[in-house]
Amino acid sequence: MTEERLLQRFKDFENALMRLKEALAIEVTNEIIIDGVIQRFEFTFELAWKIMKDYLAYEGIEVNSPRSAIKAAYSAGLIQDGEMWIDMLMDRNRTTHIYNSKMALEIYENIKRRYVSCFEELSEKIRVNIENIKE
């Protein structure tokens, strides 16, 4: 894992998080907005576990799946609430099979009330660690 690749992945993650937060700022007037937030969540989650994977690889720790990345990131102190991240992974997996609006709304609420703050914490931790690498 090169520093350049790590920086690019981090930039992609930050952009996805910004777009997710933009979507969450829109008032929910119909299900299309919820669907859009969920889609942006899926994209942000994918980049989140991949930035974990890339950062861990840079540190010499190999992981191959979202679950193993979460466990290793927790052990390495990149994330604080491993259980919340596992919940997030479970919701991410459920999004591919959403067929009812009740489940979609439940996941939307989890994204808004629980998961965005986890993404923000990861972003800040990675940012600080990358700044230390550059020094």
Residue 109: predicted pLDDT: 97
CATH number where 24 lies: 1.20.120.330
Q: How many structural domains comprise the chain?
A: 1
Question: pLDDT below 50 — which residues of the chain?
Answer: none
Is 89 in contact with 70 (CB distance < 8 Å)? yes
Please tell me the distance from the alpha carbon of residue 16 to that of residue 132, in angstroms, as a whole number. 23
Which range marks the domain in which residue 59 is found? Answer: 3-134
Please tell me the distance from the alpha carbon of residue 86 to that of residue 71, in angstroms, as a whole number. 9
